[in-house]
Amino acid sequence: MQLVVVTRIHAVNSSKLPSLEKINRFIECIEDYADELIIMLGAGSLNQLQSYSEEVDKLVGHIKPNFPVHIHPVYPWGYFTSALNQAITLAQDRKSELIAFQVRVITICSK
């Protein structure tokens, strides 16, 4: 069965966005049981969203080239409901049979 993990990252400014090291650690933990990751990303501005998305894309492409990570900017963020609804649609479009909504601060990791 295809399992997609969905997480959301939201910050008002770039100082609140998680470091790329934390994103990498999250991916290392979920790659044991997940087939792919969807990150719903919200930030204070469109420029900030684009910049951070590009940084995460580069990190994933360099460190985890065989693990699919999809970053989807959500702007304006509003309430988290729109991001979750979009995530469900994205998972369905990918024919994922299972969706795990996982918060980055709670990891299930044996590493």
- Tens digits of residue pLDDT in 8-39: 887 765 557 777 788 888 888 888 899 999 98
Residue 28 lies in a domain: yes
Residue 50 lies in a domain: yes
Whole-structure pTM over 0.85, yes or no? no
Residue 108 lies in a domain: no
Residue 107 pLDDT: 53
Residue 110 lies in a domain: no
Residue-wise DSSP of 15-63: GGSPPHHHHHHHHHHHTTT-SEEEEEEE-SSHHHHHHHHHHHHHHHHHH
Residue 51 lies in a domain: yes
Number of domains making up the chain: 1
Neighbours of 28 (CB within 10 A): 15
In the chain the first and final C-alpha atoms are separated, in Å, by 23
Residue 104 pLDDT: 66
Domain of 66, CATH number, reads 3.40.50
Residue 15 lies in a domain: yes
- Tens digits of residue pLDDT in 55-80: 888 877 776 778 888 888 887 777 76
Report residue 5's pLDDT band, with 50, 70 and 90 as the boundaries.
Answer: very high
Provide the residue range defining the domain that includes 16.
Answer: 3-101
Contacts by 45-54 with C-beta closer than 8 Å and gap 24+?
46/73, 46/75, 48/13, 48/14, 48/17, 49/73, 49/75, 51/14, 52/14, 52/17
Residue 55 lies in a domain: yes
Decide if pLDDT at 111 tops 80.
no
Residue 72 lies in a domain: yes
**Are the CB atoms for 87 and 7 separated by under 8 Å?**
no
More confident residue, 87 or 110: 87
